[in-house]
Amino acid sequence: MSKVVMSLPKGMVKNSVIGGCVALAAYVVLQLLCALLIHKELLGEDVLYPMVCVAAAAASFLGCGYSVLTRQEGAILTVSAVTAVFLLLTLAVALLANRSVAVENGLVGVGLSMAAGGLLAALVGANLPRQSRRTKTAPHRKSARRR
pLDDT in tens, 55-80: 989 998 998 888 888 876 667 777 88
Query: How much is the mean pLDDT over the chain?
Result: 78
Q: DSSP for 71-138?
A: -SS-HHHHHHHHHHHHHHHHHHHHHHHHS---GGGTHHHHHHHHHHHHHHHHHHHHTSPPPP-----P
* 3-class secondary structure, 43: coil
Cα 42 from Cα 37, distance rounded (Å): 5
Residues in the chain: 147
Nearest CA to 83 out of 109, 62, 55, 105 is that of 62
Position 146 confidence tier, pLDDT thresholds 50, 70, 90: low
Is residue 143 predicted with pLDDT exceeding 80?
A: no
Predicted local confidence at residue 36, as pLDDT = 92
Predicted TM-score of the model (pTM)? 0.73
